[in-house]
A and B are shown apart, each in its own frame.
Chain A
Amino acid sequence: MAKVLRVGPQASVQDLGRVGHRAIGVGTSGALDPFAGRVANLLVGNDEGAALIEIALGNFRLRLEDERLITWCGGGFEVEITERKVPAGHTCLVGAGEEIAIMNAKTGCRAWLAISGGIDVPRVLESRSTDLRAAFGGFNGRSLRGGDELALGELPVAGREWMVLLREARLSSWSAPRAWASTSMHHSVLRFIRGTDWKDFCDQTHQALAEEKFTATQEADRMGVRLDGPELKRKETSDLLSEAVTPGTLQVPPNGKPILLLGDCQTIGGYPKIAHVITVDLPIAAQLRPGDEVRFRETSIAQAHSLLLKRERDLERFRIGLGLKVA
């Protein structure tokens, strides 16, 4: 069991998201950076789709009631376990009764905390993710609060072996690649491919998107981030019929200030879609916090796919490498 002692702006139980129910309006939810979630789970010996805790902006404290492995990936947080610092992407053995503190992030916005065994909440519509808007899934369909007691799953085999290995050192000598574990940046560049409504915008707007700077506003949550910057004007202002949107979609409401959609976004939307941030850059998007600057750069879908495949192959190698730690 893990007891939540304190929650800052927001924390919730998430896995890799809910797939297959978009046609009835159920979005994916899930870790806003599912790749960080997979990496974190592998580091504690879990299946990569185990449920973990997503923490926004820190000020989060949790006590483990039994001995477990933990790790975390995400923004520029300071994480401590009984005055020992835990760097991102390392595996740490935590004793029964010890407390994990995720302090305020210096950069970035979110962290994913994985615990060996995973958070054992019931699967709802095949996923343990919290759908915060519709209030189901995860822990009682809501954000975590101080005092919540989270059941943990059975210790995975790999995790049990690493626990023995880390008995003395407590902190692993091995770690995930830095680029996977620490994803926040001072000057984010998000690569995009042209949106389904790209042609509805004039050349000047295309140019503004690719060349100018945007700033994340206060209107930012798990659904999306509203950006401030040059006004993105459409050629016409006729109403569009709603059609599917997805995390990474950059939609433009009539005021010309784009909204970058994230994991909790709706399944359909009626705003024109000027661009879509590519999947491998969603980890950077998930770290945007109010005030952060962001730029966009066009790429091709073939390039987006090639980057995604390379990342999959790298993750596979990482998984094999981790397996060798116990052999």
Chain B
Amino acid sequence: MEIVPLGDSALLLRLESDFEKDPARTLESILDATQRLKSAQIPGVIEFVPAYTTIAVFFDLVRMIDAGAPIDDVVGWLTTKIETVLRGVSKKKRSQAISRLVEIPVCYDSEFGFDFEEVARRANISSAEVIQLHTAAEYRVHCVGFTPGFGFLGGLDAKLATPRRATPRTEVPAGSVAIGGKQTGVYPIRSPGGWNVIGRTPLRMFDVEREPPTLLHAGDRVRFRSINRSEFDSLGK
């Protein structure tokens, strides 16, 4: 493990050296560490940002000093606290079985899937096979970011892997389901984007009026279900 300052108000914990080798185990390790750090309630720590192999720990300097951190070595003080928390044995092992399963209905019609043909062409398979492969897999949310509620999903069938577009679109509609390299995901809000759009979900992936606002959290399991245009319309109401 390496702990390095991320500016003067956060530390970046690099807990794992590689993600791709064993995504499932690495994800569990990061989620478990995040949970333990949260439970430890270290004074002055504000929030955590887990992402693949790292966790960023954001802190409020003044509160940390008030809690007894030495003014000239806040980083050392916090590092020791973090190491102590992470050295302990995890009491409860998170397991994949208890992760939430989120089902996302997707309409793969060409009206929504701007790059559907391109994905099928590159994979050299039929449209039906693209849908079959995309809906057959169970994915996991490896990381949330880019925009509010954007989940980077791992577990895409290798055949569907498609490089990002050379020129990103300046605007991708909210709900667009897309493939970027070996990952897939849903654009929760209208935003620029370079992934290959293959369909659209009528679900609101991110909604500040809802608690919690995002459908997807790191660690969640995800499945896509193919729907037709009229189901899309009725679900979207």
A contact set with B: CB distance below 8 Å? 19-26, 124-125, 131, 133-137, 193-194, 196, 241-246, 248-249, 266-268, 273, 276-279, 301-302, 304-306, 308-309, 312
The 10 lowest CB-CB distance pairs between A and B, nearest first, are A244-B56, A276-B7, A268-B145, A304-B8, A244-B49, A241-B52, A243-B54, A25-B148, A24-B214, A26-B148
Q: In whole angstroms, how far apart are the Cα atoms of A305 and B78 in the complex? A: 14
Kindly report which residue of chain B lies nearest to residue A302, judged by CB atoms: B72
Q: Shortest CB–CB separation between residue B212 and chain A, in angstroms?
A: 7
Contact of A196 among B12, B71, B73 (CB under 8 A): B12
List 28 interface pairs A-B (beta carbons < 8 Å), by A numbering: A20-B47, A21-B47, A22-B47, A22-B49, A22-B58, A24-B144, A24-B148, A24-B214, A25-B144, A25-B148, A124-B208, A133-B189, A134-B148, A136-B208, A241-B19, A242-B52, A244-B10, A245-B6, A246-B6, A266-B147, A267-B146, A268-B51, A268-B146, A278-B8, A279-B8, A302-B72, A302-B73, A304-B8
B61 at the interface (CB under 8 A from A): yes
Kindly report which residue of chain B lies nearest to residue A307, judged by CB atoms: B8
B65 at the interface (CB under 8 A from A): yes
Q: In whole angstroms, how far apart are the Cα atoms of A176 and B147 in the complex? A: 37
- Inter-chain contact B61/A19, CB cutoff 8 Å: no
Q: Shortest CB–CB separation between residue A186 and chain B, in angstroms?
A: 26
B75 at the interface (CB under 8 A from A): yes
Chain A contacts for B58, CB-based, 8 A: 22, 246
Q: Shortest CB–CB separation between residue B8 and chain A, in angstroms?
A: 4
- Inter-chain contact B189/A134, CB cutoff 8 Å: yes
Q: Shortest CB–CB separation between residue A18 and chain B, in angstroms?
A: 10
Q: In whole angstroms, how far apart are the Cα atoms of A276 and B75 in the complex? A: 15
Q: In whole angstroms, how far apart are the Cα atoms of A193 and B8 in the complex? A: 8
B206 at the interface (CB under 8 A from A): yes
B114 at the interface (CB under 8 A from A): no
Chain A contacts for B191, CB-based, 8 A: 133
B107 at the interface (CB under 8 A from A): no
If A25-B214, A246-B58, A279-B8 touch, does A19 touch B143 (CB 8 Å cutoff)?
no
Chain B contacts for A306, CB-based, 8 A: 71-72
Chain A contacts for B72, CB-based, 8 A: 302, 305-306
Chain B contacts for A267, CB-based, 8 A: 49, 145-146
Q: Shortest CB–CB separation between residue B112 and chain A, in angstroms?
A: 21
- Inter-chain contact B53/A23, CB cutoff 8 Å: no
Q: In whole angstroms, how far apart are the Cα atoms of A176 and B236 in the complex? A: 52
- Inter-chain contact A309/B12, CB cutoff 8 Å: no
Q: In whole angstroms, how far apart are the Cα atoms of A135 and B145 in the complex? A: 16
If A133-B191, A243-B52, A305-B74 touch, does A25 touch B8 (CB 8 Å cutoff)?
no
Binary per-residue interface labels of chain B (4-21) against chain A in the complex, 1 for a CB within 8 Å, 0 otherwise: 111111101000000100
Q: In whole angstroms, how far apart are the Cα atoms of A296 and B65 in the complex? A: 28
Q: Shortest CB–CB separation between residue B30 and chain A, in angstroms?
A: 11
Q: In whole angstroms, how far apart are the Cα atoms of A137 and B209 in the complex? A: 11
Q: In whole angstroms, how far apart are the Cα atoms of A98 and B12 in the complex? A: 50
